[in-house]
Amino acid sequence: MAAPVARLMESGVGRAEGELPLDINYQKLAEWLGSRKRLPADWHRRLAAIQAKVAEAAKDLPPGLLAGLPGGADAPIDYFRAVALRDALAAGGERTLFGGLAGAAGVWDAIVKAYEKQNVFMGEAASTMVANVDYELPYLRKQAARYSQLIADAERRGSEYVKAAATCANNFKQESARLGIAGASVRAELAQLGASLPAAFEAILPQLRGEGLGAAIDYYRHFVAYAAAAASGEPQAAVDAAPEDLPDVLPTLAEVREGRTAPPPERSGGAAEAAAAAAPAVEIDWDAALTGGDDAAGAADPGAAADAIDWDLDLSDLVVAGGGEDTGAEPLAAEASGGGEGDAPAISWDIELTEAAAAEAEAAGGEAATAPSDLLQQRPAAGEVEAAAARLAGDADYRAGLSDDLQELRAFLTQRRAELSGGGGGADMLHALLPPAVAAVDARDVGRLLAAVEGALSALADPQLRQLLLIAGSARYLDRLSRELGRKAGQEAKMLAAAKEADARRHESRAALAALAPRSAALAERTRIAQRGVEAALSAQLGRRVHVLGEINSALAAAAKAAAA
Encode pLDDT of 459-480 as tens digits.
999 988 888 888 888 889 888 9
pLDDT at 348: 42
Q: Tens digits of per-residue pLDDT, 488-503?
A: 888 999 999 999 999 9
**Interval 168-212: pLDDT, tens:** 999 999 988 888 888 888 888 888 887 788 888 888 999 999 999
pLDDT exceeds 70 at position 537: yes
Length of the chain: 565
Strands (DSSP E) along 272-385, which ranges?
none
Answer yes or no: are the C-beta atoms of 262 and 268 closer than 8 Å: yes
Q: What is the pLDDT of residue 258?
A: 87
Question: pLDDT tens digits, residue range 103-132?
Answer: 889 999 999 999 999 999 999 999 999 999
pLDDT value of position 176: 87
Phi-psi category of 348—alpha, beta or left, where left has phi over 0 and alpha has psi -120 to 50?
A: beta
Closest CA to 393 of 472, 488, 491, 281: 472
- Which of 100 and 417 is assigned the larger pLDDT? 417
CA nearest to 248, candidates 265, 225, 270: 225
| pLDDT band with cut points at 50, 70 and 90 for residue 530 | very high
Q: What is the pLDDT of residue 49?
A: 96
Other beta carbons within 10 Å of 48: 10
- The pLDDT tens digits of the residues spanning 284-331 come to 444 443 333 344 333 334 343 334 444 343 433 433 333 333 333 333
pLDDT digits (tens, 9 = 90+) for 16-70: 566 788 999 999 999 999 999 999 999 999 999 999 999 999 998 888 888 888 7
Which tops the pLDDT comparison, 252 or 316? 252
Cβ contact 73:83 at 8 Å: no
Percent of the chain at pLDDT exceeding 90: 40
Distance CA(519)–CA(465), nearest Å, equals: 69
390-402 pLDDT tens trace:
888 888 899 999 9
Residues 6+ apart with CB under 8 A from 94: 101, 102, 103, 105
DSSP-derived letter for residue 347 is B
Q: How far is CA 7 from the centre of its chain?
A: 83
359-386, pLDDT tens digit by residue?
A: 333 333 333 333 333 323 333 444 555 7
What letter does residue 63 receive in the DSSP assignment?
Answer: T
Q: What is the identity of the amino acid at 166?
A: A
CA separation, residue 3 to residues 6, 14 (Å): 9, 19
90-94, 144-148, 348-352: which has the highest mean pLDDT?
144-148
